[in-house]
Amino acid sequence: MFEIVTPAVIKRSDRNVPSFSAFLKFLDSNPGHWCMFYTYANCYSGNQQAYRANKKYKDKGYTFTSRKVNGLVSVYGKKNLEILD
């Protein structure tokens, strides 16, 4: 009735989610502009990604947010422009 089975390892490429470090490099090359990272089918996943990114990278000059449109949640990010005094 039951069997012992080890589940397959989930690879990032299986989900087609881009690398977050590559997204940060993209934001660095486009400061001051909102850019979309990825659109999640699960609202929780998108909102959590934006929350964790803000928590980890806000002190480094980045801002992240998520928006729900038609049942999908997109994560956006921006490299803040530094104001020189």
- So where are the chain's domains? 34-85
Amino acid 81: pLDDT: 87
Confidence at 82, pLDDT banded by 50, 70, 90:
confident
SS3 85: coil
Token pair, residue 49, equals 């990604």
* H or E stretch at 50: helix 43-57
Q: What is the pLDDT of residues 24-74, one digit of tens each?
A: 999 999 999 999 999 998 888 899 999 999 999 999 999 999 999 898 999
Kind and range of the H or E element at 68?
Answer: strand 62-69
- Written in H, E and C, the secondary structure of 5-46 is CCCCCCCHHHHCCCCHHHHHHHHHHCCCCCEEEEEECCHHHH
